[in-house]
Chain A
Amino acid sequence: MTALMSPAETEGDAKPPARFAEIPRWARSVLYLALGVGILSLARVLTGAGQLTAENTLRSALYLALPIALAGLGGLWSERAGVVNIGLEGMMVLGTWFGAYGGIAYGPWQGVLLGVVGGAIGGLLHAIATVVFGVDHIISGVSINLLAVGLCEFLTSVNWDGASARESPTIPDTVARVDLLPFLKDPLRDLAGQHRFFLSDLANAILSVTTNISLLVLVALALFPLTYFILWKTPFGLRLRSVGEDPDAADSLGVPVYRMKFIAVMVSGAMSGLGGVVLVYLFSGKFQSQQTGGRGFIGLAAMIFGNWRPGGLLVGAGLFGFMDSMQSQVTETSHALLVGAALVFLVTGLACAYRRLWVSTAVFFVLAGAAAWWYQATDELPREIIPYFPHVTTLLVLVFASQRLRMPAADGKVWRRGGR
């Protein structure tokens, strides 16, 4: 029994001081989000770079973050059941191809469905290799990545336009876009136009997720609370996570370990496949070879950044997406990021001071000073390196906060019933 209880309890390792811990997790996510908007807002006011929080910037950040977040959500499902899924990239590739094929041959929503199924088939392969045959998870994942790319290139060449084609025709019909809160649109635009501190930026943030938004984005976003509910609030979710923590104990209590792992890895592939569909439908409008560009891997990074939890991984993916969107902005805007970074360091430093971690406090204050100095001393941030700030951040999190990260205890371990 203790083994089944332990997932919830041992997470106390990473508990912040008591008063903060009393706030429910979802509310904390909202607080972090508000803090993020606040920091961006302050950076905008300090630098005058209005594009930093413009509606379009935020929407493009959201769109860029979504495939990464979905891959990360896929990683979360599979790793919570103890299977490391480095094949997310390949499953995403399958999602792009099948999504495009379905979209062209049948219709937009059929395409979405087919893309999800394509990803799930990739997940099924991974489950067969790792769960049935006990192949090392990373090795199986790498093989699936290779296979998926080859398969999709082959299917492209036989389906569309002969042997050298590396992309599909454009999908004729895409998923509809809607305004969620049409009555609020004008007042919010008004508020955004007034350039008030925080309020205008918040208005932009709300506008970016409610106006002219693809239904596909809404479906994808809904998967995050849904995942949280299923994995943390249902008996099924408890069983699935118990398999990732201690499969022997779960097995002894009658949890069907193999079946749980199969379900988890297939859902994982489906999520990643949906990430591929998003990539096709929101960006290129067609399948292109190499279109995923390593987003499956980055999803895994976002998941680790988010400590194997859906809220955290959304924050991580948001960071990756926002930095990605900065690359196409004018230099003035991306330069303002340095002020944003300085503020983040400052706030983190203050948080460390509150916890009486003096060394960390000093480090973060020095970092804040360095970022501010960098802003003062230069006119631009090198465009080539902007998208890689989240990667470096994730590395730093791994290096300095790995004690606060807690992966599922049996993650990545091959499990055979009876130890054979």
Chain B
Amino acid sequence: MIRRATLALAAPILAIAVAMAFSALMLALTDYSAGDVLHVIFSKGFERTNLVTTVNRAAPYYISGVAVAIGFKMNLFNIGVEGQYKLAALFAAAAAAAVELPAPLHVLFTFAVAMAVGAAWASIPALLRAYRGVSEVISSIMLNATALGFGAFFLQRWLRAPASESPVLGTKAISPSGQLPTLNGLLGAIGIHVPDATRVQSYIVVAAIVGVAYYLLIWRARYGFDLRATGSNAEAATASGVDAKRMVITAMLLSGAIAGLIGLNNIMGPAARYTDVSVVSGLGFTGIAIALLGRNNPIGIAFAALLWAFMDAVQTPLSNADLPKQITAIMQGITVLSVVIAYEVVRRVSVRQELAGLRHHSADGAAPSADPPPSTGTGPEVAPA
């Protein structure tokens, strides 16, 4: 038990060490001092302004990580999160701007629209996978690109605010009842001082709710049991009465629904409307990295999201100190690549140990099967197109 836990922890620590070493090498090659960079990261990185940025950025990362992880749990690779959240953000913003409702209802309505649009866009690869055997990776790649054109088409022709209202292409503004409050007041009340110029977005609460729901659904509900069973051994699950097609479709829809929530923090916060700059691009792919780092575990994903967001946030102090801020992007990339390698190596080592243990225990000398058990969680197989 202890040995397994050590092995599991060894992987991410090893990966981060490799990332640090490689980044130091890159800095040395380009005549920057790794010491300076580390000094800035540790002295300025933990200042309150920077921590607020970290928390704000971590929320969408976390949600994206969970959206991807639901797919992973089922051996599905929802690479289409990217397109799902962009479309969902656009339509949810347009819907929220079009209605007037009392505050909590308005917010919930926006969430519902976003989740519905995300799930609807995810339903295409889901149905294709379940009924035509089309790999969800391939169809999602096509749909990610198509989502851009689809969204631009709707925004340009039907959803945009008239040019007289706003010179920038975007939806109409969402009224205050549909916007999320900041947490500054609440944090102040419990004695945590937040710098005046910053705002702690309440989206972190949404992320936490998503995380709890994810945990309850996957580990504490029958549906989650079926999902994990299908993910680790589809044949066995089918034999025990799980409808594989239904599982594929529902897991993709769930993943898409969660993905729908990723892009709303800015739209329901500071920006209060959808424009091309109010939604960050690439959150879907970051979500894949975060789910991998966090091993699909609700707590693990939280750490991964915070780490990733911290690396982003620390770019500002780095560039203020005239250091190349993009070094953190390299750290992120190397970390995720070395972490997947490290997990794979650890998995092999523990399989080998298990086999050795089995051989040791089998007194009658019956050789245990030499095949390693199917990998759990991290390695979804690519279904043939």
Q: What does DSSP make chain A's interface, helix, strand, loop or mixed?
A: helix
**A419 vs B30: C-alpha distance when bound (angstroms):** 43
Whose C-beta in chain B lies nearest to the C-beta of A295?
B145
Tell me whether A391 is interfacial, beta carbon within 8 Å: yes
Q: What does DSSP make chain B's interface, helix, strand, loop or mixed?
A: helix
Report the stretch among B5-13, B202-210, B243-251, B320-328 that lies at the interface: B320-328
The 8 Å CB contact of B132, one of A301, A304, A399, is A399
Tell me whether B341 is interfacial, beta carbon within 8 Å: yes
CB-CB under 8 A from A172, the residues of chain B are none
CB-CB under 8 A from B139, the residues of chain A are 395, 398
Whose C-beta in chain A lies nearest to the C-beta of B322?
A163
Assess the A398–B344 pair: CB atoms within 8 A. Answer: no
Whose C-beta in chain B lies nearest to the C-beta of A162?
B322
**A164 vs B332: C-alpha distance when bound (angstroms):** 19
Whose C-beta in chain B lies nearest to the C-beta of A300?
B141
Assess the B336–A146 pair: CB atoms within 8 A. Answer: yes
Known A304-B138, A420-B372: A138·B385 in contact at CB below 8 Å:
no
Which interface residue of B292, B337, B340, B378 has the most chain A CB atoms within 10 A? B337
Tell me whether A32 is interfacial, beta carbon within 8 Å: no
Tell me whether B384 is interfacial, beta carbon within 8 Å: yes
**A36 vs B157: C-alpha distance when bound (angstroms):** 32
Assess the B330–A388 pair: CB atoms within 8 A. Answer: no
CB-CB under 8 A from A150, the residues of chain B are 326, 329-333
Tell me whether A286 is interfacial, beta carbon within 8 Å: no
Assess the B145–A413 pair: CB atoms within 8 A. Answer: no
- Interface members, chain A 355-393 (any B CB < 8 Å): 382, 384-385, 387-388, 391-392
Tell me whether B364 is interfacial, beta carbon within 8 Å: no
Assess the A146–B333 pair: CB atoms within 8 A. Answer: yes
Tell me whether A81 is interfacial, beta carbon within 8 Å: no
Which interface residue of B142, B153, B378 has the most chain A CB atoms within 10 A? B142
CB-CB under 8 A from B341, the residues of chain A are 129, 133, 135
Assess the B325–A84 pair: CB atoms within 8 A. Answer: no
- Chain B residues touching A, range: 35 or more
**A392 vs B142: C-alpha distance when bound (angstroms):** 7
Assess the A398–B149 pair: CB atoms within 8 A. Answer: no
Assess the A147–B137 pair: CB atoms within 8 A. Answer: no
Whose C-beta in chain A lies nearest to the C-beta of B72?
A139
Assess the B325–A163 pair: CB atoms within 8 A. Answer: yes
Tell me whether B165 is interfacial, beta carbon within 8 Å: no
**A158 vs B26: C-alpha distance when bound (angstroms):** 10
Assess the A138–B329 pair: CB atoms within 8 A. Answer: no
**A297 vs B323: C-alpha distance when bound (angstroms):** 33
Tell me whether A40 is interfacial, beta carbon within 8 Å: no
Known A388-B145, A405-B385: A147·B334 in contact at CB below 8 Å:
yes
**A399 vs B149: C-alpha distance when bound (angstroms):** 21
Taken residue by residue from 38 to 61, chain B's Cβ proximity to chain A (1 for < 8 Å, 0 otherwise) reads as 000000000000000000000000
Assess the A402–B142 pair: CB atoms within 8 A. Answer: no
**A384 vs B327: C-alpha distance when bound (angstroms):** 36
The 8 Å CB contact of A385, one of B137, B153, B286, is B153
Tell me whether B358 is interfacial, beta carbon within 8 Å: no
CB distance from B344 to the nearest CB of A (A): 5
CB-CB under 8 A from A139, the residues of chain B are 288, 292, 340, 378-379
Whose C-beta in chain A lies nearest to the C-beta of B380?
A136
CB-CB under 8 A from A147, the residues of chain B are 330, 333-334, 336-337
Tell me whether B225 is interfacial, beta carbon within 8 Å: no
Tell me whether B348 is interfacial, beta carbon within 8 Å: yes
The 8 Å CB contact of B327, one of A146, A154, A395, is A154
Known A142-B285, A297-B141: A133·B146 in contact at CB below 8 Å:
no
CB distance from A108 to the nearest CB of B (A): 25
CB distance from B230 to the nearest CB of A (A): 18
CB distance from A84 to the nearest CB of B (A): 6
- Interface members, chain A 118-151 (any B CB < 8 Å): 125, 129, 133-140, 142-151
**A294 vs B86: C-alpha distance when bound (angstroms):** 16
The 8 Å CB contact of B77, one of A138, A163, A398, A407, is A138
Assess the A384–B156 pair: CB atoms within 8 A. Answer: yes
Assess the B337–A136 pair: CB atoms within 8 A. Answer: no
The 8 Å CB contact of B133, one of A148, A402, A419, is A402
CB distance from A91 to the nearest CB of B (A): 13
Tell me whether A227 is interfacial, beta carbon within 8 Å: no
CB distance from A331 to the nearest CB of B (A): 14
Tell me whether B345 is interfacial, beta carbon within 8 Å: yes
Tell me whether A86 is interfacial, beta carbon within 8 Å: yes
Assess the B382–A412 pair: CB atoms within 8 A. Answer: yes
CB-CB under 8 A from A158, the residues of chain B are 30, 32, 324
Known A149-B329, A304-B385, A388-B145: A136·B128 in contact at CB below 8 Å:
no
Tell me whether A157 is interfacial, beta carbon within 8 Å: yes
Assess the B289–A146 pair: CB atoms within 8 A. Answer: yes
Tell me whether A214 is interfacial, beta carbon within 8 Å: no
Assess the B381–A412 pair: CB atoms within 8 A. Answer: yes
A to B CB contacts below 8 Å, 25 in the list: A129-B340, A134-B348, A135-B341, A138-B382, A139-B340, A139-B379, A143-B336, A146-B332, A150-B329, A151-B330, A153-B326, A154-B326, A163-B325, A297-B141, A297-B144, A300-B138, A304-B138, A382-B157, A384-B149, A384-B153, A385-B150, A388-B145, A395-B128, A411-B382, A413-B381
8 nearest A-B pairs in the assembled complex, by CB-CB distance: A147-B333, A150-B329, A412-B382, A154-B326, A388-B149, A143-B337, A384-B153, A136-B379
Given A139-B288, A158-B324, output 10 extra A-B contacts at Cβ < 8 Å. Answer: A133-B344, A134-B348, A149-B333, A150-B332, A163-B319, A297-B144, A298-B141, A304-B138, A407-B384, A420-B348
Binding site for A on B (CB under 8 A): 26, 30, 32, 77, 79, 128, 132-134, 137-139, 141-146, 148-150, 152-153, 156-157, 285-286, 288-289, 292, 319, 322-327, 329-334, 336-337, 340-341, 344-345, 348, 352, 370-372, 378-382, 384-385
